Chains A and B, each alone.
Chain A
Amino acid sequence: MKITKLFTNNRKLVLFSVIFYVVVDVLHLTGVLNDYWIQITNVALINIILAVSLNLINGFAGQFSIGHMGFAAVGAYTAGTLTTIIWKLGVANSITKYLLFAVALILAGVAAAIVGYLIGLPTLRLRGDYLAIVTLAFGEIIRVIINATGYVGGPRGLLGIPKLSNFTIIFFVTLLSVIIMRNIVFSTIGRALKSIREDEVASELVGVDITRYKVLAFTIGSFFAGIAGALLCHLLQIAHPTQFGFIGSINVLVMVYIGGAGSISGSIVAAVGLTFLSEFLRLGIDNLNKIAPFPVGPEWRMVVYAVLLVAVMLYRTAGIMGGREFGILVPEEEGKNATGSQA
């Protein structure tokens, strides 16, 4: 399947997405959804890019990487620095600012991809737990370097980033990212990645250049993480080292495994579900506090969250989707001769 087939293979998916987009926009304009929930939706969409891109590395290629937010940081700081500098020059008008943002997003992806490639090349020789530890370390190294770089604000963070992200941009960038990654998964590249995950030796013996494909998965995953980071910092108007630390990376990892490793649908469900769950729990605890005879601390939110994660893992060990995909995410030409592996 061709990776560049963005529309012809996805008429249903695109139609469904556009309807969703229009509905959310109308609800926003009519005031049913306030800015707060739109903001949460934006974060959920960015989390979709992060989770699907990490799933490409962990779930499809089977390379256990846990430093994903490091690459998001590279993207965020690359794009954030660029737009902030140009913004201060005052040359951007209402149209060119979006052109600027488009360029910044692509550069963010490219910068993260380059870092991903450079880290992936030596580390992907390692397997399993060893790879996990090294990717964790690299993620932290990126964060520490940013922390120590005064030019981008160091521990104070990069401030004054123009607000260029909005629901429309985030929505369509997410849709495009998911379609591209979905196409990769269903292409021969995807098949090579799955063969590496299943059995590296057998994969080598059928002639797959496993180093090349592992590094490719890592580079593509980093590219999209970089784009997600850039979207995020132009939404929050700040890039801060703590956003991109170890805890953030673990959150993305949790989304991948709760949704189901090796399922794009699962990553989408988990990214949206966990982002909103976290907010619902916050509201729930606030409301509980009003009626409870004793004070309920906000830390209970994380306890409930953790219990729910444990419950999902107990009852659905392969994640919510367990490696299956929604029909709408299966390429149309693939769907015709589908052979049981799709839901």
Chain B
Amino acid sequence: MLKVNDLEVSYGAIKALKGITFEVKSGEIVTLIGANGAGKSTTLRTISGLLKAKRGQIFYKGDEITNREPNEIVAMGIVQIPEGRRTFPDLTVRENLELGAWTIKSRKVINDKLEGVYELFPRLKERRGQLAGTLSGGEQQMLAVGRALMAEANLVLLDEPSMGLAPVLVDEIFEVIERINKEGRTILLVEQNAEMALQIANYAYVLEVGNIVFEGEAKTVAQDPKIKAAYLGA
């Protein structure tokens, strides 16, 4: 579904990605794990079109999408849930969700999707008239996920969904990720919480300072002694 080939991205003179190649197969949960500064977020931001690639290509369903504008990429069916949630604080929950459906023109489709999100997160329905900035951290993460689900997207990019959340909420978010995957969406998950990510993922790539240093079935990666020592604290 998504193929990234020899992708290089730099911030000025600093190379954040030094030519990475990976693939996300349709229907899977694929995770990119790695330490701070490994280039995980950079990868997602480049796929979404927020950053420009210096070299290499990105293909989605066979079409090259390298360096397209973010709005075109969303319209093609790739949506990102950004790090730090980034809801629209002075807009209501409902307005936030409806903005998620920006690329959809049919009012009926939007309303159906809205109902779907409310079903998944009843809390958001209760708070639909409330300003997003007044929600708790966990609720805002739900809203960020809900907003992404409003888009007509087959591929969901998640950037550190567990960041800053209480453990019980982390479990809840990972359950939601598994659920939206089962409903047919493909997931590319970036996480520092490698243990949780490897539990739900099918396949994993390990990033270290801009290079992919290890890859394999998530179960195999979780058993690898080097990975265990470096990322799983065992």
CA distance in complex: A191, B101 (Å): 12
A207 in contact with B151 given A339-B129, A341-B131 (CB within 8 Å): yes
How many residues of chain A are within 8 Å of chain B by beta carbon? 22
A194 in contact with B92 given A201-B82, A207-B151, A340-B130 (CB within 8 Å): no
B86–A202 touching, CB < 8 Å: yes
Is B135 close to A, CB under 8 A? no
Q: Which of the residues B69, B82, B98, B128 comes within 8 Å of A202, measured between beta carbons?
A: B82
A191 in contact with B151 given A202-B87, A208-B71 (CB within 8 Å): no
CA distance in complex: A203, B103 (Å): 12
How many residues of chain B are within 8 Å of chain A by beta carbon? 31
Q: Which of the residues A198, A204, A339 comes within 8 Å of B94, measured between beta carbons?
A: A339
Is A206 close to B, CB under 8 A? yes
Is A195 close to B, CB under 8 A? yes
CA distance in complex: A311, B87 (Å): 33
CA distance in complex: A192, B102 (Å): 9
Closest CB-CB distance, A97 to chain B, in whole Å?
45
A202–B79 touching, CB < 8 Å: no
Residues of A within 8 A of B95 (CB): 191, 194
Residues of B within 8 A of A191 (CB): 91, 95, 98-99
B88–A207 touching, CB < 8 Å: no
Is B48 close to A, CB under 8 A? yes
Which residue of chain A has its CB nearest to the CB of B132? A198
Interface string of A189-221 (1 = CB under 8 A from B): 001101101110111111111100000000000
Q: Which of the residues A194, A205, A207, A209 comes within 8 Å of B91, measured between beta carbons?
A: A194
The B66-112 residues at the A interface (CB cut-off 8 A) are: 69-71, 74-75, 79-80, 82, 86-92, 94-95, 98-100, 102-103
Is A323 close to B, CB under 8 A? yes
Is B147 close to A, CB under 8 A? yes
Is B165 close to A, CB under 8 A? no
CA distance in complex: A195, B71 (Å): 14
Closest CB-CB distance, A193 to chain B, in whole Å?
11
Closest CB-CB distance, A101 to chain B, in whole Å?
39
A198 in contact with B102 given A205-B48, A207-B71 (CB within 8 Å): no
Residues of A within 8 A of B92 (CB): 339-341
Interface string of B22-51 (1 = CB under 8 A from A): 000000000000000000000000001110
B91–A206 touching, CB < 8 Å: no
Residues of A within 8 A of B70 (CB): 204-205, 207
The A80-127 residues at the B interface (CB cut-off 8 A) are: none
A209 in contact with B69 given A198-B91, A199-B88 (CB within 8 Å): yes
Interface string of A324-343 (1 = CB under 8 A from B): 00000000000000011100
Q: Residues of B at under 8 Å CB distance from A?
A: 48-50, 69-71, 74-75, 79-80, 82, 86-92, 94-95, 98-100, 102-103, 128-131, 147, 151
